[in-house]
Amino acid sequence: MNHADLIVARMERARQDRGISVAELGRRIGVDRKRLWYVLNGQRSMHVDEFVRLCAVLNMGLSCFLTKEMAADLAAARKRMTEEYGPAGQTGPFRFQ
């Protein structure tokens, strides 16, 4: 299963677990129910704004969509970035004030 399929499968499962119809979920996020049905069945791609609204309505954080392997990869990347550039918030060329 690729990551896009994992995301829609977890979204669809969350919808079913909460007992929300596709029509009601579509109404809550401002997307036509037919389009949302296609998205949740993997037949259409999900737009970023739809993903964000679905996450908000279904109360799902980004961690819901990470596999253990992805979480480990992100932790390793964060460690490399910290070693190379220092912890976030330190002074440097990209410091924001």
Domain ranges of the chain: 3-85
Task: Tell me how crowded residue 66 is: count the other CB atoms within 10 A of its CB.
Answer: 15
Residue 4 pLDDT? 87
Classified by CATH at the fold level, domain 3-85 comes out as 434 Repressor (Amino-terminal Domain) (1.10.260)
* Rama region for 69: left / alpha / beta (φ>0; ψ in -120 to 50; rest): alpha
Confidence bin at 97 (pLDDT 50/70/90): very low
**What is the rounded CA–CA span in Å between residue 54 and residue 58?**
6
Whether pLDDT at 96 is above 50: no
